[in-house]
């Protein structure tokens, strides 16, 4: 018997959240189906399919200074071929990312993430523009350079202030995140902490 393609195909109710067998590709695998939490997704849907990995808790960046010198690879509990099959079968997918920083910048030279094909990406959660973060889209980032507001909160680069940039990545062609990279974290007072959430997909494609 072939398992449903995704949690969306289970048509669960709020009492049904848990681990289910799904089969978007050639092989079935266990995934967590969330039928109760919407995460402010303002569309009708039957449930998130959530694919977890080994780096979801907040992790401190190891001290190093050069651009992208720190790298944390991300390993998923499901083979990449099956994750891609799930993404293809789903209308929407997203992944939460956050960088909490103190004197550690997040501009394109120093911070980024790797897409599933291994290419470096330098937009952060909440935008698709290279070198930008969510606060840059709304014009609410902390700090200015030559009277122009920063594109990320972390780019204010103050050792005395801890701030963060966060949001969802939503480009299905690039997801899931396979690594995150940072730098500028060695001088006294400099530090960074990253968080990468599980991959979440919903809707029938």
Tell me which H or E stretch contains 138. Answer: helix 134-138
Q: What is the mean pLDDT of the chain?
A: 90
- Are 58 and 193 in contact by the 8 Å Cβ rule? The answer is yes
More confident residue, 82 or 2: 82
Residue 117 has pLDDT above 70, yes or no: yes
Tell me the two tokens of residue 34.
């969330």
Residues of the chain above pLDDT 90, percent: 68
Mind listing the pLDDT tens digit for each residue in 36-92?
765 554 444 567 899 999 999 999 999 999 999 999 999 999 999 999 999 999 999
CB 198, CB 131: distance < 8 Å: no
User: What are the backbone angles phi and psi of residue 82, rounded to the nearest 5°?
Assistant: -75, -35
Q: To the nearest whole percent, how much of the chain has pLDDT over 70? A: 92
Question: Which class in CATH covers the domain with range 54-197?
Answer: mainly beta
Element (H or E) spanning 81, and its range? helix 80-89
What integer pLDDT is reported at residue 53 of this predicted model?
A: 97
CA distances from 62 to 34, 46, 102, 148, 153 (A): 33, 40, 14, 31, 21
Do 151 and 132 contact (CB within 8 A), yes or no?
Answer: yes
């Amino acid at each position: 018997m072939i398992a449903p393609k995704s949690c969306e195909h289970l048509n669960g109710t709020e009492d049904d959240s848990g681990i289910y067998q799904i089969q978007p590709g050639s092989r079935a695998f266990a995934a967590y189906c969330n039928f109760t939490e919407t995460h402010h997704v303002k569309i009708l849907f039957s449930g998130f399919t959530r694919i977890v990995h080994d780096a979801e808790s907040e992790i401190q960046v190891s001290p190093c200074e050069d651009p992208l010198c720190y790298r944390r690879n991300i390993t998923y509990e499901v083979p990449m071929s099956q994750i891609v099959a799930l993404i293809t079968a789903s209308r929407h997918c997203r992944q939460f990312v956050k960088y909490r920083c103190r004197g550690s910048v997040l501009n394109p030279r120093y911070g980024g993430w790797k897409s599933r094909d291994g290419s470096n990406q330098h937009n952060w959660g909440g935008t698709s523009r290279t070198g930008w973060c969510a606060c840059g889209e709304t014009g609410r980032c902390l700090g200015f350079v030559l009277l122009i507001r920063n594109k990320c909160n972390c780019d204010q680069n103050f050792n005395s202030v801890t701030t963060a940039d966060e949001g969802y990545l939503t480009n299905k062609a690039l997801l899931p995140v396979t690594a995150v990279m940072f730098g500028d974290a060695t001088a006294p007072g400099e530090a960074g902490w990253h968080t990468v959430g599980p991959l979440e997909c919903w809707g029938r494609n």
